[in-house]
């Protein structure tokens, strides 16, 4: 059976790195045939652009390196379910599959902010099929980084 854990753990590690670097805790990796090709972190604060989500950054990086046909056989692994913007970006990029650890609902319970459109609700409307897997058994591990970040960031502790 296919094992998503190493790639999701790498995405979660990137989410911690992003937080430690002064941004929001999200990370994503692009994988083809068991190999990590690209990595991206959230950079909304350090990049002065609130659309610099990890998945958006990864999709834009991927577009510089690969065409849509190549990306169709790639999987985007991400620490937390992509928002409507990032789900749309994944759709347009041609990436074939997306796997997330922590759900948007769980993130919302912790952070209490943001858009509330499940990634499947966006992706299922598309003219091409994007496989979606998640949340996974690593949800608690991915959520732990949010529990560390959001209460402080929102001034609630």
| The 97-102 sheet, strands edge to edge | 35-41, 27-32, 75-80, 97-102, 131-133
Say whether 156 sits in a helix, a strand or coil. Answer: coil
Write down the catalytic residue from 10, 41, 55, 81: 55
Q: Give 127 or 157: the residue with its C-beta nearer to a copy of itself.
A: 127
- Name the token pair of 17: 């790195």
Distance in Å, CB of 16 to a copy of itself, minimum: 22
> Residues 53, 44: contact at Cβ < 8 Å?
yes
Phi, psi of 40 (to 5 degrees): -150, 145
Q: Give 10 or 66: the residue with its C-beta nearer to a copy of itself.
A: 66
Q: Give 40 or 138: the residue with its C-beta nearer to a copy of itself.
A: 40
Distance in Å, CB of 54 to a copy of itself, minimum: 13
Q: Is residue 55 annotated as part of the catalytic site, yes or no?
A: yes
Name every residue whose Cβ is closer than 8 Å to that of residue 68 and which is 6 or more positions away in sequence: 93, 94
Distance in Å, CB of 47 to a copy of itself, minimum: 8
**Binding region for a copy of itself (CB under 8 A):** 48-51, 53, 56, 59-60, 63-64, 68, 83-89, 91-94, 112-117, 121-122, 125-127
| Residues designated catalytic | 55
């Amino acid at each position: 059976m296919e094992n998503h854990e190493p790639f999701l753990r790498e995405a979660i590690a990137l989410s911690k790195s992003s937080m430690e670097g002064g941004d929001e805790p999200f990370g994503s990796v692009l994988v083809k045939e068991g190999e990590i090709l690209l990595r991206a972190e959230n950079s909304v604060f350090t990049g002065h652009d609130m659309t610099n989500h990890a998945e958006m950054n990864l999709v834009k990086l991927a577009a510089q390196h690969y065409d849509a046909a190549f990306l169709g056989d790639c999987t985007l692994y991400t620490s937390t379910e992509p928002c409507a913007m990032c789900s749309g970006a994944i759709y347009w990029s041609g990436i074939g599959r997306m796997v997330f650890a922590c759900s948007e609902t769980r993130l919302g319970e912790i952070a209490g902010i943001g858009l509330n459109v499940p990634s499947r609700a966006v992706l299922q409307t598309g003219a091409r099929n994007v496989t979606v897997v998640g949340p996974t058994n690593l949800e608690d591990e991915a959520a732990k980084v949010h529990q560390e970040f959001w209460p402080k960031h929102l001034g609630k502790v």
